[in-house]
Structures are given as structure tokens and as C-alpha cells.
Amino acid sequence: MGSTRPTGRTRGRATAMAACAALAALTAVPAQAHEPEHRAPHWELKDTGASEARFRGLAAVSRSTAWVAGTGGTVLRTTDGGATWRNVSPPGAGELQFRDVEAFDARRAVVLAIGEGEASRVYRTDDGGATWTESFRNTDPKAFYDCLAFFDHRHGLAMSDPVDGKFRILSTGDGGRTWKVLPDRGMPAAQEGEAGFAASGQCLVTSGPKDVWLATGGAARARVLHSADRGLTWTATDTPVPAGDPARGVFALAFRDRARGLAVGGDYRPDQPSPRAAARTSDGGRTWRPAATPPPAYRSGVAWLPHSRTAALAVGPTGTDLTTDAGRTWRTVDTGSYDTVDCTPDHGCWAAGEKGRVARLEQ
């Protein structure tokens, strides 16, 4: 629904230790009054020079390297922690709306443009965005692609809103160089009005070599669909996140492993409340439980903090929320506007959103 002097090794160790301390402090119990105050971990905005773009696509490679993709066919890349950004947008893509980017490293990335018919496209680069190859252009006027996700450097999927009553899945086995539509025999029927939300690049997510989950909304029930065979067969489960309206449902998913996952969403209209805007699963999505204390408003992106079994961040236009108990309770830690969030194993967490906003979590 259309809608990332000391010797390099020493410096790397020091950076990782500082990042680890920042994440530890973020999840720590608040200090007592008599203890000395320390600056809390916070989002530090990075000047992208692209204030006209809204970045709903984000791929964090490391604390130093990240890619963002957004409106106006814009793709940016940093390799120095956000100090500088290079505009690596595909030529001639100015009319496209990029909503997802998946990057394997500083040189290889795949971006998805959304929209009806031929507006849905996939591009791939192998040279840091110096050149791009269009590897897929949708020719079915009934299809509208929302998100893409990779299991590894070769195998990945993209998903479209339902075509002829079922969600459509696109598959690649060569890193996004070529794509094919998978048969829909193993896909459950879609509900009336059901679709995905192209809000953060997180309506389709993977964990491990074969498991993938798809988030939905817009229909009577907000559901999560799961496949354990790279998209050939799927099962659908209702979630407690409210739906019943084209603007409501599950907008983003994050799985720490193939069992433990988080779902966030709500109603994206700013004048509408978003009760029960988060849910969690511990059985791979077979069942979902509502958060006891959910985020206070609509959230479009979610990510587990690196090397944590219980901590995660959720972001949306009105703020960032933190959970330290695997999604049971959430508390607001920042009121800045972000649409998507992504974290890396070297303790790098990035967020991106409207007006060219990109930030990295800092101590």
C-alpha cells in the first residue's frame, strides 16, 4: 500500500567499546539522584544535505557505513559515520519513490521503487552507486511492490500487494541481478482490502537462511504471514494490532531469531489514536501478544539492539520508544521524527525519515 593517530585496530576497538557503553546505558536502570549525571545515549543528526527528501529506506552496514533511499529517486551513502554523504542516486530516477534499500557492504546494494505498474522497480549497484542496473520493472498494472528483504548475499524476496486475491512474491537467487515471480499456490487468500505498508522497508523481514515474515493491514484484521521455505508456502496469523481501516495495521517487523519477533504499527494519520500499536511473538509468529505498555502513537519502524536478548527501538513521526523486556513494555526516549531504524553487529544504530533526517545513536 503505497502509500551505516591510534592504529586502526585500536581505534576500531575503542569505537566498539564506546558504542557498547552507549547501548548499555540506554537500557540501564535510571541512576539514583546522588549518582553523577552522564549524558544519555541519543540520536545525533547527520547533515545529509538532502532536506527535500524523505528517507523511508535505510540499510545500516556498520557504524561507519549506511545507505538511505527516499523520495525523488534519491539514494545516499556514507562511509565515515555520517560526517559526509555521497549522492549515488540512479540516473533518470527522479520521478521514482524509493522505499527500501538492502545493502551487503559499502559497494553492493539493491533498492526498491514503489508504485503501481512500472513505477515498481528494482535497481542494483556493485560499485558503491557509481553505476546502477535496473534488474526488475513490474509490468502488471495490478501489482504494487512494497518491501524487499534478503536471507544472504544471494537469496532475497520482494512482496507486492495482492494480485488476484493473493500477495505476490518476487524471488532472486543471484543477489538481485535477476528476479522471478513465485507461484502463489502456497499463499493464503488475502482479506478484502488487505495490503502491505511501504513505510519503512520493514513489512518484509527475514531471519536465518529460509524464514521470512510479511506484515499486513488495511483489512478487518492485521496479520503476519510466515514462510519457512523462502516464500514458497505461507501461514497467516492474526495480530492484536488494530486494523479495520486502510490506514491501520502492522507497519514493521523485526525478528531477533526465527522465534522471537516484534510488530509495530497503528494508524498513520496524525489526527487518529493508535492504541495497541505493538505486539510480540516468541514462537516464530504462530501467536502474537499485545504489549502491556505499547508505544503511545503510531510507529513505522522497529529494530532489535545488537547483542541484546531483550532491547529494541521503535520509531515513528512523533518519537522513538525503547523496550528492555522484549516488547512487553515501551517508553519514549526521543521525540524526533523518524520513519525507519536499523542496527548493526558492531553496535551501530541508525534512523532516517522526513526532511533528509538521518541520525546515529551516540553517547
Average pLDDT, the chain: 92
- Residue 33's pLDDT band, with cuts at 50, 70 and 90, is very low
pLDDT exceeds 50 at position 335: yes
Share of the chain above pLDDT 70, in %: 89
3-state secondary structure of 90: coil
Place 41 in a pLDDT band, splitting at 50, 70 and 90. Answer: confident
Phi, psi of 250 (to 5 degrees): -90, 125
- Please state the separation of Cα 128 from the chain's center in Å: 21
Contact 243, 219 (CB under 8 A): yes
pLDDT band at 264 (very low <50, low <70, confident <90, very high): very high
Helix (H) or strand (E) holding 304: strand 301-304
The residue that leads in pLDDT, 24 or 324, is 324
pLDDT single digits (tens) 154-183: 999 999 999 999 999 999 999 999 999 999
Residue showing cell 555521497 = 86
Q: Which of 337, 303, 339 is nearest to 322 (CA)?
A: 303
Q: What is the DSSP letter of 217?
A: B
Residue 320 has pLDDT above 90, yes or no: yes
Average pLDDT on 42-66 reads 97
The pLDDT, as a whole number, for residue 131 is 98
Residue-level pLDDT at 258:
96
Judge contact between 26 and 40, C-beta under 8 A. Answer: yes
Cell of 200: 519503512
Of 360, 336, 327, 332, give the one whose Cα is nearest residue 346: 360
Q: What is the DSSP letter of 210?
A: T
> Does position 10 have pLDDT exceeding 70, yes or no?
no
What is the spatial distance between Cα 198 and Cα 192, in angstroms, rounded to a whole number?
Answer: 18
C-alpha cell at 1: 500500500
Mean pLDDT, residues 247-268: 98
pLDDT of residue 9: 36
Mean pLDDT of 241-258: 98
Whole-number pLDDT of residue 363: 73
pLDDT (mean) for 55-77: 98
pLDDT average, residue stretch 200-219: 98
Residue 138 has pLDDT above 70, yes or no: yes
Q: What is the pLDDT of residue 13?
A: 44
What integer pLDDT is reported at residue 17 of this predicted model? 44
